[in-house]
Copies of this chain bind each other. A is one copy, B any other.
Amino acid sequence: MLLPRASLLVPSNLCSDTTCHGLRLKPHASDYAALIPWSGIKGLRDTIAAGIAERDGFPANSDDIFLTDGASPGVHMMMQLLLRSEKDGILCPIPQYPLYSASIALHGGTLVPYYLDEATGWGLEISEVKKQLEEAKSKGITVRALVVINPGNPTGQVLAEANQREIVEFCHKEGLVLLADEVYQENIYVDDKKFDSFKKISRSMGYGEEDIALVSFQSVSKGYYGECGKRGGYMEVTGFSRDVKEQIYKVASVNLCSNISGQILASLVMSPPKPGDESFESFTAERDGILSSLARRAKALEKAFNSLEGVTCNRAEGAMYLFPRLHLPAKAIKAAEALNVAPDAYYTHRLLDATGIVAVPGSGFGQVPGTWHVRYTILPQEDKIAAVVSKFTAFHEALIAEFRD
């Protein structure tokens, strides 16, 4: 074994270089996974794998972990691998966080939309996914993967376990890669829902490495930590052949490695203090304080939106968003059209002008044609929520009065 000797003479402080370690000499890039930090520092990946195993109750392998600068670069890497041409498609929820549409566009593939059902709390209906898959196939599109965002962004729903099992079954049967955006896994605000990873669900169904290809994305930007400026995250890649894994290593190697502070934070997120640890009590108090404050803010905003005339808002179950529907007066829609702006964009623009409150028009995420929404985060400081609600309400009432049919 040469490594200990080699490490004596390899420059240690400046060697983050794809070519420094003579990779070309070895038949399998993954032989180097333990040595070369392209997928992240081994000890940190070990910690993350142990954290996943503890969370799920099923084993996790540190060689499946790729540390990334936030979740986004992991998504890009997978799109780069999956999309060969515009004839390759990815099933994505609508509404969806636009990272997916942007990444699919950047990598030259086709987004195959499936609509979440607003009437059932942004439910993910397998019949809808199946319909869209068949329609894409009939157009000559090879659908390669299904994106699920759970808890949902921008829609804030949490999938029921039975629904997750249907999704796993569907991907297994259709041979689709399941791309599970699970960055909001800590952000659940209702007692009747909990987070289960798709890995846990699929393993509990008896599906192993051979049965389903599954990628789970995690980030340090969300949860109760919210360290988005650190750009930490990872993806857990399971159910791919060794050949494909080597291609993922290769793509990761082009960018050398993700930033070390982000790598460390990602490992901390997956290994919080445990009972008996010195900081366990203070950690638990702070975490629970943040999450229960977020839950109160979600509830207050949900209630506020539902009390507005012509606004309906599903329950804020998780993530960091509400996605209320605006039933706008016909005159308001006409006013927007006269300016060549989507009605929800017109609404948010007017909101910004009148109150300084920033909300994002639903048209930025996709929505059933003819429906209009806004996404609003639950993140204003708790002591500002009352002021937000009061300003938002006053604005909305004035706008409705202005355009009343």
Contact = CB atoms under 8 A, between A and B. Distances in A.
Contacts of A380: 9-11
A388 B9 contact: yes
A98 interface: yes
Contacts of A377: 11, 14-15, 20
Nearest to A24: B364
A359 interface: yes
Contacts of A18: 98-99, 102
Contacts of A360: 19-22
A258 to B, nearest CB: 7
Contacts of A97: 19
Contacts of A6: 352, 356-358
A230 B232 CA distance: 12
B251 A228 contact: no
Contacts of A9: 355-358, 380, 384, 387-388, 391
Interface in A318-376: 320, 341, 345, 348-349, 352-353, 355-361, 363-365, 375
A393 interface: no
A255 interface: yes
A71 B360 CA distance: 32
20 contacts: A5-B356, A8-B356, A13-B228, A14-B222, A15-B379, A16-B221, A18-B102, A19-B98, A20-B360, A20-B377, A21-B360, A22-B352, A22-B359, A22-B360, A24-B363, A72-B256, A102-B254, A231-B259, A231-B260, A259-B261
A156 interface: no
Contacts of A226: 13-14
Nearest to A384: B9
Contacts of A260: 229-231
Contact of A349 (B13, B22, B262, B365): B22
A336 to B, nearest CB: 12
A251, A352, A384 pick with most chain B CB within 10 angstroms: A352
Contact of A106 (B72, B80, B102): B80
A358 B10 contact: yes
A69 interface: yes
Contacts of A375: 19
A286 B387 CA distance: 53
Contacts of A388: 9
A103 interface: yes
Contacts of A229: 16, 257, 259-260
A347 to B, nearest CB: 11
A151 interface: no
Contact of A345 (B11, B25, B261, B364): B25
Interface in A108-128: none
Nearest to A250: B102
A239 interface: no
Contacts of A106: 80, 251, 254
Contact of A25 (B348, B357, B379): B348
Contact of A2 (B98, B356, B384): B356
Contact of A358 (B21, B72, B99, B357): B21
A286 B367 CA distance: 58
Contact of A22 (B221, B251, B358, B381): B358
A70 interface: yes
Nearest to A391: B9
Nearest to A13: B226
